[in-house]
Each structure stands twice: as structure tokens, then as C-alpha cells.
Amino acid sequence: MVDTTMSVKEAALMQIPDLLSRLGTSRETGLSDTDVELRRRQYGLNEMQIHEEEPLLVKYIGQFKDPMILLLLASALISLITREFDDALSITVAILIVVTVGFVQEYRSEKSLQALTQLIPPKCNCIRNGVMQEMLARYLVPGDIVYISVGDRVPADIRLIESVELEIDESSFTGETTHFQKQSQVIEDPDSLLLNNISFMGTFVCSGHGKGVVVSVGENSEFGQVFKMMQSEEAPKTPLQKSMDSLGKQLSFYSLCIIGCILLVGWIQGRNILNIFTIGVSLAVAAIPEGLPIVVTVTLALGVIRMANKNAIVKKLPVVETLGCVDVICSDKTGTLTQNKMEVTQIYTDRRRSAQVLDDDVVCEGESVTCDAHKDIFETIEIGCICNNAQFRDNTFKGQPTETALLSLGSKLNLFNLRDEFHRVDERSFSSEQKWMAVHVQRKCPMIDNDNEGVWFMKGALSVVLRHCTVIGQNHAPFTTKEKAHFEGVSAEMGHQGLRVIAFARGRSLMGMRFIGLMGLCDLPRVGVASAVSELMRGGVEVKMITGDALETAVSIAESLGIYTPGSLSLSGAELDQLGSSPEELASSVDRTSVFYRVTPKHKVTIVKALQHKNRIVGMTGDGTNDAVALKRAEIGIAMGTAGTDVCKEAADMILTDDNFSTILSAVEEGKGIYYNIRNFVRFQLSTSVAALSLVSLSTLFGLPNPLNAMQILWINIIMDGPPAQSLGVEPVDRDVMKQPPRKASDQMISFSLLARVLISAVIILLGTFWIFWREFQDEIVTPRDTTMTFTCFVLFDMFNALSCRSMTKSVVSLGLFSNRALSYSIGGCLLCQLLVIYFGPLQSIFQTESLSFSDIMLLLCLCSSVLIVDEVYKACYRRWGSSIKSQIHASRTSRVQVV
């Protein structure tokens, strides 16, 4: 059997006869049926093999393995045993919501692998046994001879052996929107990254046609390598998921401790062990905030809706909160930081005059350009419009970005229809090898007799245009070496400004042309990106730029956006490869670098892993299929909605529908705010739970009657898990959150500071409520008035506590009493229901309450407001002293970001 295994680069470096011999095939006859059968056994079908999927039911059941879910299931079971059906129902609802959301997320994430298989075209034209035949692409094998033409999608990795004006759109593979011209000649430079004689699987033929030999198929192709990497790459857990796992374990531990303490004390006191165990289990169930999964889900879902309104589509709910932990964002330049739209900004003519292009005008030496006063500038613009294949259709310019930029410039001076005055006799198309384009035209209505001879117009790279120029100026003076050096210096200066330079010339023949001038073009930064970058960096989020451009262009754009400052580091793709042998050195270098240039999409994975090696939380943008692995590897994969491929979007966690970097700022802001809202809810619920548990536990342990009856405890539990608590999850995002540094992914949901605030509030609620109960229990007989006063006291404490839990640092007044309408309505509704429980006869009999006097209500209001007053004093002290200390810590943490 012939060994046909080889890489595409190896094939690119081989002469065509040697390659065909190595693959055991013929360019005229292709393979025989026998050869095909043998090779299919060796290489398999030309398709991606997706592992056999588990049934949907098995996947759904697998979601129940989460520690938090298992704990809630145990709680629901215990609630059923103890006949607390309301608790069992609420816990079950919470479980179903969380499990269903997790299942949907996992199901959608697997679509990224399926999307890759759609890139393989169903049919292709292949030569076998000397006959051209149409066949299914899945049956191709290495050595097959394939014909491709306009409109085809390349069926496998093909080494071209014939090429006629072949242009291929590789955006699905590289993310670059530029069409690549392909040729069949061997690649001379073994270190070249540009494989112009290879057509990759899944790419699209834009023009021309060609013939090639299949080098690799299926998972052995370049797309197949991406596919296998995606299969092996596990998306990391989000910080929120880690926090929820940790919280579940903590609550399990606390629950077991409660049961153990109750059993131990009851056994020491000689009480009935079964009764004590029932009390301990009930308290443990009450300690679990079953409303937490619901609030987390609702809060994240609302965040997703708000972000969608800001052009950011989030595919997985926990990702919203993860954005608040991101401390480094690696962004593409083209289309994300810039407009992905070339524009001419400078013109420099043979008369050494410079002009600047403004929004609607062209200005030279402070005045608008006119045909009479600035013929040299007009002549340069005219050549750009005539030596051009772009078109103006449907009120927009269509064609290559460079050529549409030249036509757009012509439209400012009403010249873009100038081609209609000429008849094109001949054209020399632009290619990456010759780096110039020329057209031979004749004026349709000759102004002078010799116009019938026609003229050549040329545009291209300065170095090659200069080789065709022998004269300069209207008097056709010799174009000296000194003058050429001058224009090379001007071009270099434009290049340092981040401009792409194009030279223009005209003449009767291609080898005796007159030099006309230069134009500098650039892809302008998007409006608002610079301010977004600045705000992100002030918030401790570092921004790194990744581009395939040259160093000068990359640094120029990065400087204008504030990403790169004097002294910052930059790395090329080749330098990244050299650092790859030392993980520590690579991670350190990548962490300190601001701009990565001349990189391929594969380098993105290297950058992500290096940053993660430094414990950074990475946000990575991408738009090409090859970016999919890096997007999946990063904590936050961000795909471009307009320019991005389907595979890229499926692999990403978030999609920017407007391809605008500024949208990321809004997303990060939303992510930070959501985490604070979830934390505020946890603070409220835990403080209420601890107070309620402590009240019942102390009464039980000291042999006192229960201060609350079953219906009253049920009502309090509804408040703990119901509308007032859940309304904290929809608190409007605090605009100051961007001033806070990114949260560390290792931070626990229940931090020391949060636990301290919980205990302070719980102690105040416990002491106040217990004092009311002790005050009413002077006759040592529990009456409806005693429980009503205690019950109402606890409920009012809860309402004031909910107000204080809206923010960890800001006062209720500064937030606005009614800025969170959901909370205002919830508190108002709970107070109204509490009044009905106290004063409405039928409810009095159900809750065993009696009417309270006005003085009783006023006493309770004054007492219960203490939890809010104490918290406001704490916040005021924090804002005065604690914030300054914290800002100093934040400054030291972000100093490196500001320097870079």
C-alpha cells in the first residue's frame, strides 16, 4: 500500500510531479476504484466523526449530580417525610428550573461540533478512472484529483496543480475577510506561513477555477485538527458555578452541624430523641435557601435580556456573572476595534504636496481641493477611480476594501463615475506576487487626437510601482534615485502612522511610466472604543490587541486606542512560537505584552493558555472557524455576530451583534452588577434564616414555648424566599461597579465581610424579636397577642433588612427609595398582607393573631428600623475610611495594567 500520509505544508513544498508520484495518482486519470477502496479503509470517510450521543433523558438526569441539586433533593425528601409539603413543592420547582437551564446550556454547547460538519460540501467534481464525475465529498480519499470553480466550497485539503485567476474566501478558516489568490507553483520558503498553493476544506471559491490533488481528508485535514481540539477541550467552569458548588457544600456542612448540636443538647437534657431529631431536621431544611437557585436564574436571565438590548447575545446564563471576573480581554483589531472599512486619509503627490481627507472634503494647505488649483491631487484620485474594479450599487460601494475606499474618496469630488468616460482595453489583475494592478484605457470621446492611443493607469505597492516609473512631473523629468528615496521616506512615515500606502502612476507603456503620487489608507478605530478601553483599564481589566497586521500598523492603532503606550511590549507570532518551549517564560511574556502582531488564529490558543497559566480570567474575541478552539478555551469566548462564522458563534459564550468592542464594556458592567445583586440576595436570606433559626433554637434549648406557630413560620419562610427577597436580584445595576476591580474567581460567595454583615443583621433581628417575646411573656402564658407581637416584629425586621441589603456600600437615600420598583411593590404588598393577617377576622383565626394598637405598631416600627439604621451607619463609616483603604489596594493591583 502506498504511504500517502503527509501534512499540507509538506505538500506545499513539493514539486507537482514528485507530489503526484508520492500520492500514487495521475493528474489526467486520477485514482482507480481499487486504489480508492484501499485508501478508504486506511483513512475512513471524509467527514467528522462525532461521538455517539447520549439519549436526551440521560443527559437531563446527569444534571442532578451537582452538589447543590443533591442537597436540594435531600431537603425536598425530608420535607415530604416531615409533611412540610409547601417546602417540598418550592424546592422541587427550584430544582426543575436549575436543571432545565443547565441541560439547555449543555445541549447548545454541543452544536459547535455539529456546525463543523456542515462545512464539508455534500458534492464535488472528481476525476476517477480518467472520467470527471460528480460525487459525494464524503467519499474523497488522499490522491483524488478534484476540480473547483466559482461558487464551490472546497471539499478537502487540496494541493493545487492548476490555477486560473483563482481567488478563495478563507474567512471561515482564518477570520480574515480578504480573498486570497491561489497559484499552483511550489512554495520556495519553508518557513512561510502563507500557503498560496493549498486550498483548505470548507473555504469558498470566489472567482476563477483550479484543479488539485487531495492531500488530507476528514479529521486529518486542517479543519479536522480544529475539530479534534474542540472535542478534547473542556470549557472551564464559570466562577458562579464554582461559587454555587462551594455554597452547596457549606450549607450541607452547616445543616449537619445544626442537626448534630440539637441532637447532642437534647440527649444531654434527656429529651425524646425522635422529637429532637425532627426539630433538628426541620431547622436544617429551613437553613437551606431554596429560593437561591430561582433568584440566581431570574437575575441572570434578566441580565441576558438587558445585554441583548445592548447588542450582546449571551448563550449561557452563568457567563453573565463571569464577565465580572474577567481581568484581561484579548481583542481582534479588524472589525472589532476598528470599523473594518478602509478609508483614504492622506494624499502626497509628485509635486510634494500633501492633502488630508476629511469627512466630506479633501483639504490641502488649509483650503478645499479644486480641479484648477490642485491638478496633481485630482490626477492621483482619478487614477484610483479608473484603475479600480469596485462598484457602486444599492447605495453602497461593493468590492475589495482598498478599491471601495478609493471610489469613496472619488465620490467626495464627484469622480467615482469617471470610468464611464473610458473604454477598458486591457487589464493586469492584482496578485499577491506582483503586488500591482494596471488597466489600459481609451477615452470614449477623445479630447485630443493622441487620446486614441490609450493610456496605462497603475496602482500598487510603492516598491514595485517605482520599478515601472522612469519620469516624474508634467514635464516628464527623469525620476532620479534621490527622488525615489524621498518618496520611500514619505511612505515609511505613513507606515509608522499605521497607514497602508498605495502608489499611483500612468504612461503609454508599463515600463516607462510617470510617477503620480501616494495615498495612505487605514482602517479607522470605531467610535467609542478608546473611551471603552480607558474605562475597562480603570476598572482593572487589561486589554490586549491581536492582529495579523505588521508591527507599525498594529502599534499605531493600539496607541490611538490607549492599549499601547511607550515602553509597552509587543510580540509577533514567530516570537510566540520560539517562546513555546518554556511555559513559564511564555506565560510571563504574554502576560506583559500589549500587542500581538503577525499572528495566526492558532496563536490565540497559545495566548489564552499562557494567560490562564498566570491565573488570569480571559475574554477572547474571534470571528473565524480556527478561532473556535481559543473561544472555547477562554473563560469568555466572544464571537462577532456580523463577520463571525457559524462554528465560531457556536463555540462562543457571547456574540456581539454589532461587532463592536464597546459592547464588551456594557457586558462587563452588567456582569459585575449581577454578581453584586446575587450577593445582596444571599446576604438578606442568610441573615433572615440565621435569625429565624436562632430564635427557634434558643427557645427550644432553653425550654421556652415556641414564639411562633406553624402558620406564622410558613409566612416568614415565604418572605425569606418570596417576592421581597427575589426583588433584590433585579436591583438596577450600579453605575459605579466599573470602578471596582474584577472579582477573583477564587473568591467565595460567602466571604468574611459578607458573613460579618449577615451576623450583624441577624443578631439585631434576633435580639429585637427575642426582647419583644420576653416582654410579652412576663405572665409565662403564651397568648395570641404574644405571638402576634413577635410575629409582626420579625416581619417588620425583614422588611427593613431587605432595604438595607440593596447595597453593601451605598445608603438607601442615595440609591433612591423607589428606584427598585419590584422591591417597593413587594414590601408594600407584604406589609398590606401583614395588616390583613393582624386585623382581618378570617385570617386572624388561621394565623392565631389579634389586633394590635397604634402604639404597638409604632413601637415595633421604631425597634425594627434599627437594623436599617445600624447598617446605614456601617456604610457611612465604610465610605469614609474603608473605601480609601480598599482603593489603595486596588491601585496597587492595577498599577501594572496602567503601566502596560
How does pLDDT run across 645-668, given as a tens digit for each residue?
666 777 788 888 888 888 888 888
CA–CA distance from 637 to each of 161, 324, 534, 611 (Å)?
38, 14, 21, 14
Mean pLDDT of all residues in 132-143 = 88
Mean pLDDT of all residues in 294-311 = 72
Instruction: Note the pLDDT of residue 669.
Output: 82
Give the pLDDT band (50/70/90) at residue 898. very low
Give the range among 63-77, 394-408, 433-447, 553-567 with minimum mean pLDDT.
Answer: 63-77
User: If you average pLDDT over every residue of the chain, what do you get?
Assistant: 80
Mean pLDDT of all residues in 432-442 = 84
* Other residues' Cβ atoms within 10 Å of the Cβ of residue 292: 27
- The answer to whether 549 and 362 have CB atoms below 8 angstroms apart is no
Mean pLDDT of all residues in 287-299 = 62
Confidence check: pLDDT of 52 > 90: no
| Beta strands 338-349; 542-546: pairing state | unpaired
Catalytic residue, chosen from 152, 332, 623, 659, is: 332
Most confident of 53-62, 600-609, 716-725: 600-609
Over residues 775-788, the pLDDT tens digits come to 887 777 778 888 89
What whole-number distance in Å separates Cα of residue 291 and Cα of residue 600? 47
* Other residues' Cβ atoms within 10 Å of the Cβ of residue 700: 20
Q: Residue 537, class by beta-carbon neighbours within 10 Å (0-12 exposed, 13-18 middle, 19+ buried)?
A: middle
Instruction: Note the pLDDT of residue 117.
Output: 45
Confidence check: pLDDT of 723 > 80: no
DSSP string covering 317-382:
HHHHHHGGG--EEEEEIIIIIEEEEEEEEEEEETT--EEEE-SS-EEETTEE--TTT-HHHHHHHH
Which residues 6+ apart lie within 8 Å of 63 measured at CB? 69, 99, 102, 103, 106
Mean pLDDT of all residues in 60-65 = 71
Give the pLDDT band (50/70/90) at residue 202. confident
- The answer to whether 807 and 680 have CB atoms below 8 angstroms apart is yes
Mean pLDDT of all residues in 802-820 = 87
| Top-confidence residue, 266 or 507 | 507
47-61 burial, b at 16+ Cβ within 10 Å, e below that, comes to: bbeeeeeeeeeeebe
Give the range among 24-28, 91-95, 832-836 with minimum mean pLDDT.
Answer: 91-95
Over residues 499-512, the pLDDT tens digits come to 889 999 999 998 88
What whole-number distance in Å separates Cα of residue 737 and Cα of residue 715? 35
Position 834: which residue type?
Q
Q: What percent of the chain has pLDDT over 90?
A: 24
What whole-number distance in Å separates Cα of residue 893 and Cα of residue 740? 11
| Beta strands 198-199; 477-478: pairing state | unpaired
Which of the 8 DSSP states describes residue 133? E
Mean pLDDT of all residues in 750-769 = 89
Instruction: Note the pLDDT of residue 46.
Output: 82
DSSP string covering 833-845:
HHHHHHH-HHHHH
Q: What percent of the chain has pLDDT over 70?
A: 77
Give the range among 88-92, 345-349, 477-481, 611-615 with minimum mean pLDDT.
Answer: 88-92
Phi, psi of 477 (to 5 degrees): -70, 150
Which residues 6+ apart lie within 8 Å of 802 measured at CB? 684, 724, 725, 727, 728, 823, 826, 827
Give the pLDDT band (50/70/90) at residue 766. very high
CATH homologous superfamily of 263-303+679-731+752-890 equals Calcium-transporting ATPase, transmembrane domain (1.20.1110.10)
Confidence check: pLDDT of 427 > 80: yes
Give the pLDDT band (50/70/90) at residue 800. very high
| Top-confidence residue, 193 or 328 | 328
Three-state SS sequence of 686-729: HHHHHHHHHHHHHHHHCCCCCCCCHHHHHHHHHHHHCHHHHHHH
Confidence check: pLDDT of 435 > 70: yes
Instruction: Note the pLDDT of residue 9.
Output: 83
Mean pLDDT of all residues in 106-119 = 47
Give the pLDDT band (50/70/90) at residue 899. very low
* C-alpha cell, 726: 427575589
* C-alpha cell, 39: 485508501
* C-alpha cell, 729: 436580584
Instruction: Note the pLDDT of residue 679.
Output: 83
Mean pLDDT of all residues in 452-462 = 88
Give the pLDDT band (50/70/90) at residue 880. confident
What whole-number distance in Å separates Cα of residue 399 and Cα of residue 421? 20
Q: In terms of CATH architecture, what is 312-337+526-659?
A: 3-Layer(aba) Sandwich (3.40)
Instruction: Note the pLDDT of residue 799.
Output: 93
What whole-number distance in Å separates Cα of residue 67 and Cα of residue 176? 44
Instruction: Note the pLDDT of residue 50.
Output: 54
Which of the 8 DSSP states describes residue 31? B
What whole-number distance in Å separates Cα of residue 148 and Cα of residue 214? 12
| Top-confidence residue, 440 or 97 | 440
DSSP E strands: which ranges in 760-835?
none
Query: Quick one: which of 172, 50, 51, 52 has its CA closest to 114?
Result: 50
Instruction: Note the pLDDT of residue 525.
Output: 85
Instruction: Note the pLDDT of residue 113.
Output: 38
Phi, psi of 69 (to 5 degrees): -65, -40
Domain residue extents for the chain: 1-231, 263-303+679-731+752-890, 312-337+526-659, 342-522
Q: In terms of CATH architecture, what is 1-231?
A: Distorted Sandwich (2.70)
- The answer to whether 662 and 526 have CB atoms below 8 angstroms apart is yes
Distance of CA 610 to the CA centre of its chain: 18
Instruction: Note the pLDDT of residue 453.
Output: 74
Q: In terms of CATH architecture, what is 342-522?
A: 3-Layer(aba) Sandwich (3.40)
DSSP E strands: which ranges in 68-224?
123-128, 131-136, 145-149, 157-169, 179-182, 198-199, 204-216
Give the range among 136-140, 314-318, 564-568 with minimum mean pLDDT.
Answer: 314-318
Q: Do domains 263-303+679-731+752-890 and 342-522 have the same CATH topology?
A: no
Mean pLDDT of all residues in 305-317 = 77
What whole-number distance in Å separates Cα of residue 270 and Cα of residue 64? 40
Give the pLDDT band (50/70/90) at residue 466. very high
Confidence check: pLDDT of 294 > 70: no
Give the range among 84-93, 284-293, 725-734 with minimum mean pLDDT.
Answer: 284-293
Mean pLDDT of all residues in 431-451 = 75
Position 373: which residue type?
A
Catalytic status, residue 332: yes
